[in-house]
Amino acid sequence: MAEKTKTAAKKTAAKKTTAERKKKLVIVESPTKVGSVKKYLGSTYNIEATMGHLRDLPKSQLGIDFENNFEPKYITIRGKGDVIAKLKKKAKAASAVYLATDPDREGEAISWHLAHILDIDPKSACRITFNEVTKDAVKQAVKEARAIDMDLVDAQQTRRVLDRIVGYQISPLLWKKVKKGLSAGRVQSAVTRMIVDREREIDAFIPREYWSIEAKLTNEKGRLPFIARFHGLSDGKKLAVEDEETAMKITSELKGSEFTVSKITKKETKRRPAPPFTTSTMQQEASRKLNFTTRRTMMAAQQLYEMGFITYMRTDSLRIAAVAQNEARAYIADKFGKEFVPARPKVYKAKKSAQDAHEAIRPTFAANNPEKYKETFKPDQYKLYRLIWQRFIASQMEDAVLDTVAADITTDKYMLKASGSTVKFAGFTTLYVEGRDTEEEKLKKLPALTESQKLKAAAITPEQHFTQPPPRYTEASLVKAMEEEGIGRPSTYAPTIATITARGYVAREKRTLYPTELGYIVTDLMKENFEDIVDLKFTANMEDKIEDVANGSTDWHKVVGDFYGPFEKTLKEAEEKIGNVEIKDEVSDVVCEKCGRLMVYKQGRFGKFLACPGFPECRNTKAITVELGVPCPKCGGKVLVRKSRKGATFYACDNSPECDFISWDEPTNEKCPECGGTLMKKRMYRRGPISYVCFNENCGYTRKPESKSKKKEK
């Protein structure tokens, strides 16, 4: 009996092993995709994740073989051994292996590295890509398995090798000549220069005075007031008003004049919707409307893509699949009415340099209204998805139609102009209107006017103005400028901005970016010694050459070789030419308690801190003290706001170590209604709704956040 049981068990195990071997293996990048892809492909597939890159250039050395045509020396990334061992075991047992890393150059390179690790022929039909994590897209991708695109791999290698050469050969020079911890980069240095140049443009700006003159006009009965603006002479010639004397003279003459409507122009104008998002426009709009940083936007977008709600989020294409257009048109007709559906699907053209491998960013299904999934999403996911969904649906809606009226109003000597618009058909604006970096004039309606009609002036108001310097960059306007200049790619916008702020070259003031002293020094040093690296045209031209590699029209070794020859010569000259650069620290009024010197401000990874200038004899450092303004829940002392090593905010008592109060939750001045203890602000997750919890553990009082509906009622 026991023998029979053993035999049966062996047969079952053998069947399982055979079944397992018959399974196909699909390898994705992110573990978030595993469940969805498994669900779509079924039980005959095993799905595994690489958790990102498995091989890369070594961190401890340059990793480029200059004697062997710039071949990169790849090594296994530390900590990836277990993942690789698991993938090898699964691949060996599988009947077929499909590499389904992200559908971009970086993903293509990861698949190529995977093929090397798993001993898969890159020319075999092993590579699959899907622009969206949906059942149809995933199944179709498996049917259309192809060889690894070595042109895309080489384009990624070109960028990686160029960036490594620049970063690993200029950075040590900066450490030696300026200070340790600095870095230079092929893209980051050019972007830092953009911010430095803009700040200098602002500093050098000389404001110019000018005046505007507005007339509040009415009909002869003193009714239907509207505003007309001074334009110039009565013959239509424009006249600039540049000083107070001229403004007052014109104002005086207008006050004694008779006003006549000399010309009325009526026309119907159409306003087209904005195209669906690219990476750049998504980052810009999320900054304007949601106040998201580029990194925060891309994190939420990555999650939405992996959850199957949006198409791939790194793209500069405006192409939309016909099936998606048809879904959107059907949704619009159902929810808004047939009059909101244009006669033909709207098609948008991207600029010539755009890659058309992917679609624009859109929801995977038009019918997936954001409100349906509000409880599924985290706050950032919901806000960004709603923006993407609205933008896409609006892009396929009918144009808005406006009735515009313009009136020329003259006196015997001068002309004023007034204009107004009314919405004839709302079209796409029913759902969505694109944000702007500068304020737009709101639609104003003019009263019914007729030519030759006489008007009266109720008031004439002159106002002084001064021309304004160009504004500082925000993250949104910087991304826009990077795209316009051809600096970087959709995948590099967010990391570049994160790098230059983390290095201390650029700082934030509210939403604007400005260069630090260190940013000025490093940029000037780079301009003087490595002009090409910080030259925007040179950097953009290099992007074009990388594009040529991706298209298969240029060999990547040649691109790197053409760059490295002049660069090597420049590097040697800079080594001899650059002297030691002294950066003077800003002195504070805080006395070092260890040696008595006045401490100085230093820029760290998470902002400024105080350090003793006596380093290395005195190594004293301390955080810049910020008082919260509430009493300590334990001893009544001052509560200080502090930062952890990873940049997270926490709260501690100033009476430490006598008082051991320390908390991630923010204490408030509010008292618990049940026990009189301190109420603490608590979030269940970052940027989540705030609850108020009693500090007294024995109390247990909690006040949950109010719903939006209750707030509106109040």
Residues designated catalytic: 312
The b-or-e profile of 183-211 (16+ CB within 10 A means b, else e) is bbbbbbbbbbbbbbebbeeeeeeeeeeeb
The single-letter DSSP state of residue 139 is H
The tokens for 391 are 């933008």
CB count in 10 Å sphere of residue 27: 25
Residue 381: name the closest of 296, 324, 313 by CA. 296
Residues belonging to the chain: 714
CB count in 10 Å sphere of residue 704: 10
CB count in 10 Å sphere of residue 324: 22
**Residue 16 near residue 289 (C-beta atoms within 8 A):** no
Q: State the alpha helices, DSSP H only, in 530-670.
A: 531-534, 536-550, 556-577
The tokens for 16 are 């399982």
- Report in angstroms the alpha-carbon separations of 487 from 165, 182, 483, 491, 492: 18, 21, 6, 11, 9
**Residue 559 near residue 544 (C-beta atoms within 8 A):** no
How far is residue 445 CA from its own chain's centroid?
37
Please give the angle made by the CA atoms of 214, 216 and 218, to the nearest 5 degrees. 150
Phi, psi (rounded to 5 degrees) for 117: -65, -40
Euclidean distance between CA atoms 155 and 556, whole angstroms? 7
Which distant-in-sequence residues (6+ apart) come within 8 Å of 278 by Cβ?
315, 316, 317, 318, 350, 354, 360, 361, 490
- Report in angstroms the alpha-carbon separations of 390 from 121, 144, 316, 397: 44, 32, 19, 11
